[in-house]
């Protein structure tokens, strides 16, 4: 079995290696990956691997090296489980590898969870695996690329509305060219009676792309932050760029009502110790909003809303997304590297097909 290891400290350093497959014991099933997506989201997983716990999902047994989690689809090729039959296809959270052995249990909603002891204390949303039919193979790529990102976008939108936008008249989306960023802009633009403005921040290279989405009332580049309107604001930071965050805070001052940290796509310019003016940035953790809504609305309601929302945006993805399929796990290193160093085209959605 092949897997792509990533250095915990220098996340641009990767190593492809061959390892013996894990044993498949009682109650377990072996899943062979068919395909998975690589996006800036995976860079965030690596950059926050210890802060949030992403390195803990798929232990490598190698000091200082981890497996970046990915979203994709796999097929059960061996089973000692009463619940999972060989041939079952499952969408979910996998290691950047060719196989995964899970301890399968039913989740009570038609899906399964990996009940491996080391995953018990990790966020439940990442431990669930959803059956998908072979007839749906055409949807595999779009699901892996967009469902996790646009689900986060929708949860951000729901969280902002849930908190009455913290009283802000404008919502500033950092790294608006990222798929999570553009998804948030599009969800924010949907209400016909909205009274708030949407401002997208992006690089000069990606400005035309973000403007072409038509979801922002104003698009500014990072060197135009001083032009931010002096109005009550919420800043939703997808990039983690410490200098950008500091300038947004200093430019808006008391007008900034809330600052939310979501992703770390600009991981190399991330400085968690950086002191900024005004409100203290708060980390947004999507599973926490899901848990809140489950308690308020009951199980399954929020999940249905998320599914409807991401499929709604995916329906017009042809206008802003080019799916690029790469054959074999050996191609993953170059794709991941381009995402990590910021040279990947925001229009491209990368799939590794095994």
**What pLDDT was estimated at residue 317?**
84
Q: Is residue 138 part of a domain?
A: no
CA distance 73 to 75: 7
In this structure, what CATH number is given to the domain that contains residue 17? 3.90.180.10
Average pLDDT over residues 62-71: 96
Q: Is residue 18 part of a domain?
A: yes
Query: Regarding predicted confidence, which is higher, 85 or 149?
Result: 85
CA distance 186 to 146: 13
* In a shared domain, residues 272 and 230: yes
With a cut of 80, say whether residue 52 has pLDDT above it.
no
With a cut of 90, say whether residue 135 has pLDDT above it.
no
**What pLDDT was estimated at residue 263?**
59
With a cut of 50, say whether residue 266 has pLDDT above it.
no
Q: Provide the token pair at 134.
A: 């072979």
pLDDT tens digits for range 180-231: 899 999 999 999 999 999 999 999 999 999 999 999 999 999 999 999 999 9
**What pLDDT was estimated at residue 277?**
67
* In a shared domain, residues 163 and 226: yes
* In a shared domain, residues 190 and 117: no
pLDDT tens digits for range 9-24: 999 999 999 999 999 9
Domain count, the chain: 2
Q: Is residue 299 part of a domain?
A: no
* In a shared domain, residues 256 and 179: yes
Q: Is residue 313 part of a domain?
A: no
* In a shared domain, residues 159 and 225: yes
With a cut of 80, say whether residue 50 has pLDDT above it.
yes
* In a shared domain, residues 116 and 213: no
* In a shared domain, residues 150 and 278: yes
Q: Provide the token pair at 202.
A: 């992006």
With a cut of 70, say whether residue 272 has pLDDT above it.
no
**What pLDDT was estimated at residue 267?**
39
Nearest alpha carbon to residue 349 among 147, 119, 79: 147
With a cut of 50, say whether residue 271 has pLDDT above it.
no
Question: Over pLDDT 70: what percentage of the chain?
Answer: 95
Q: Is residue 303 part of a domain?
A: no
* In a shared domain, residues 24 and 79: yes
Average pLDDT over residues 295-302: 88
Q: Is residue 231 part of a domain?
A: yes
Q: Can you tell me whether residue 287 is helix, strand or coil?
A: helix
With a cut of 90, say whether residue 282 has pLDDT above it.
no
In this structure, what CATH number is given to the domain that contains residue 208? 3.40.50.720
* In a shared domain, residues 150 and 284: yes
* In a shared domain, residues 228 and 344: no
Query: Confidence class of residue 127 from pLDDT cuts 50, 70 and 90?
Result: very high
With a cut of 80, say whether residue 240 has pLDDT above it.
no
Query: Regarding predicted confidence, which is higher, 156 or 109?
Result: 156
The answer to whether 128 and 113 are in contact (CB under 8 A) is yes
How many C-beta neighbours within 10 Å does residue 185 have?
A: 26
Between 45-54, 117-126, 147-156, 170-179, the lowest mean confidence (pLDDT) is in 45-54
Nearest alpha carbon to residue 353 among 73, 117, 26, 17: 73
* In a shared domain, residues 177 and 283: yes
* In a shared domain, residues 155 and 282: yes
CA distance 152 to 60: 27
CA distance 184 to 160: 10
**What pLDDT was estimated at residue 275?**
54
Q: Which residue has the tokens 């802009």?
A: 185
**What pLDDT was estimated at residue 264?**
52
Dihedral of the alpha carbons of 286, 292, 293, 299, in degrees to the nearest 10: 100
CA distance 283 to 48: 11
pLDDT tens digits for range 243-252: 899 999 999 9
Average pLDDT over residues 16-42: 95
Instruction: Give the domain extent around 275.
Output: 146-288
The answer, as to whether pTM is greater than 0.85, is no
């Amino acid at each position: 079995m092949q897997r792509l290891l990533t250095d915990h400290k220098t996340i641009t350093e990767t190593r492809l290696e061959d390892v013996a497959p894990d044993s498949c014991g009682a109650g377990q099933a072996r899943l062979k990956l068919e395909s998975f997506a690589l996006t800036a989201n995976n860079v965030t997983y690596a950059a926050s691997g210890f802060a949030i716990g992403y390195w803990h999902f798929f232990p490598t047994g190698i000091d200082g090296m981890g497996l970046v989690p990915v979203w994709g689809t796999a097929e059960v090729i061996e089973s000692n489980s009463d619940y999972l039959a060989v041939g079952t296809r499952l969408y979910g959270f996998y290691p950047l590898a060719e196989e995964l052995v899970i301890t399968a249990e039913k989740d009570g909603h038609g899906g399964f969870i990996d009940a491996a002891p080391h995953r018990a204390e990790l966020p439940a949303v990442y431990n669930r695996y959803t059956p998908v039919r072979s007839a749906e193979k055409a949807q595999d790529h779009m699901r892996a690329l967009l469902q996790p990102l646009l689900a986060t976008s929708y949860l951000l939108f729901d969280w902002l509305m849930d908190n009455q936008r913290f009283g802000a008249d404008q919502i500033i989306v950092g790294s608006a060219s990222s798929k999570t960023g553009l998804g948030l802009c599009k969800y924010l633009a949907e209400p016909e009676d909205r009274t708030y403005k949407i401002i997208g921040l992006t690089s000069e290279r990606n400005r035309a792309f973000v403007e072409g989405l038509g979801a922002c009332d104003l698009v500014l580049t990072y060197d135009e932050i001083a032009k931010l309107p002096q109005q009550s604001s919420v800043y939703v930071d997808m990039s983690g760029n410490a200098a950008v965050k500091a300038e947004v805070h200093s430019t808006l001052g008391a007008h900034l009502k809330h600052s939310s940290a979501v992703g770390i796509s600009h991981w190399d310019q991330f400085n968690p110790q950086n002191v900024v003016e005004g409100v203290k940035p708060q980390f947004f953790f999507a599973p926490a909003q899901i848990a809140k809504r489950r308690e308020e609305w009951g199980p399954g309601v929020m999940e249905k809303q998320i599914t409807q929302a991401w499929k709604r945006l995916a329906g017009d993805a042809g206008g802003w997304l080019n799916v690029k399929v790469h054959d074999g796990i050996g191609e993953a290193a170059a794709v991941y590297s381009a995402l990590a160093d910021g040279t990947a085209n925001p229009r491209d959605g990368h799939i590794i097909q095994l």
